[in-house]
Chains A and B, each alone.
Chain A
């Protein structure tokens, strides 16, 4: 009798522990979602209140604490130029490395290159900034091109891994079928295999753009000493949205804070929309390739 009651007591305790742990796990997941919610709502509220057309059409007013119209047109242009050039540099290198990794390299070589790409992905962005500073800026001064190079270093591993993962999913029979028809290997790779991964390349590139569009650290030492004029020339250091947010966030002028929130709203909208779209595309192309994950 006593054994039985002890047993039910034990069961009750075990069930209580179970419920407690389940509650903790549920609370943790909701806490993360709530933090994201709070962050997005505060950016949307404060940024939404400060956003206007001037933000996109005017350049920063040279003085703080004025009511003159002021905007960040130069920063938006600068970010577009820097990220655009970075993408143009990173996509070919990323995609070609992925082709080598998946189509040509032997297992051991592929292992090492994939490891190197993953480790490159883990190098802190600020260290990449210092690297480009030492490589280029020390000799040629700051420029948008130097900034682009720094960002492209962050993009290459992302694009390469995204492409390679999908290349690995292309059925071997596709390659063999093409080769059996007498098509040469390089035309099989470029004409038959690669087109099947276009979706993944676009997705990987979009995610990489979303990631680097908000990167500040690599630009601090490569494209930060800028004026307030609107410039397109990539040989000059250009203003950028994340760096402007960084500067304004440490400014004493509340109007600067307002502009920082407005710019943050634009940036976060771009980044979130881009990553959600990329994810949706990735999920669709995965389903089409018959992979349910």
Chain B
């Protein structure tokens, strides 16, 4: 990466030889400012969002995290517990479906598919990530929602109705549609990162396993998956981060309800979608502060998740030059 960066000594030497150009210093300076600006942005985001949340932090403190009320009326009491719960259920639910699915897709694309099919299918899967979330949400309300309410949920209720997860009345809006929408949105990300990982598994390890008489699946289980294990963890964390931060598509299908319950059929809300749904209604300083408080929780989570995932990715990349 960092190439021939002239150390100060070298710059001094160039100057001695009369080869120092003010243009060099200027370009160095301008690009440095741009790069630092991009980094400073991250710090500024954190500071401004926390600053905006201050009234709510002052008023509710950490109790905000466990309080299950969102009352913008005369009482002005706000809490995030229901949204944290909704975020956890929908994101983990989506990850539970999208994780294995994405790994399977990546395995198909690297180990099974005929060579001519790999490019096109890989591109199509990634196109799924390019569909704007508001379009996924529109489709989620008007096409997927009715299907879920009329077919999927009645079937789940009929088959697994004894579980509290699948109790309650089927509905277009609820946690389950949100899980499905998020699954659609994070599958392309997790599978494209996993594909890169699987491409980086050394060919001779794979061939060695096959030469020992393993079937293809045994080779995958014994060589490919263990080799890519930590990278897969990073891919899953990135997917989780994306699911947690998704606001629009979730707002459209989740139903916007402040409640903690075990039924996936009933409406709920997530941190991100609660913020999104408040964009017109917030009037008091305390409510705006509470929205920023929700954003702070999201920001902290996304920073931690991304730093951890990127640290893993970089560690893996040092071992496998193929992965960027």
Contacts and interface: CB of A to CB of B under 8 A. Distances in A.
A75 B242 CA distance: 27
Interface in A92-142: 92-94, 96-97, 99-107, 109-128, 130-131, 133-135, 138
Nearest to B275: A126
B276 A122 contact: no
A217 B218 contact: no
Contact of B48 (A106, A134, A175, A190): A134
Interface string B1-20: 11111100000000000010
The binding surface of chain A is classed by DSSP as helix
B302 A39 contact: no
Given A96-B35, A124-B244, A165-B324, A36 B141 contact: no
Nearest to B28: A104
B131 A123 contact: no
A4 interface: no
Nearest to A215: B132
A26 interface: yes
A113 B37 CA distance: 10
A15 B215 contact: yes
B101 A28 contact: yes
A220 B274 CA distance: 12
The 9 closest A-B pairs by CB, nearest first: A214-B132, A124-B245, A96-B34, A100-B31, A28-B104, A122-B306, A18-B215, A134-B52, A186-B23
Interface in B125-178: 125, 127-128, 130-139, 141-143
A49 interface: no
B292 interface: yes
B252 A249 contact: yes
B113 to A, nearest CB: 7
B211 interface: no
B212 interface: no
Contacts of B187: 32
B298 interface: yes
B283 interface: no
B49 A134 contact: yes
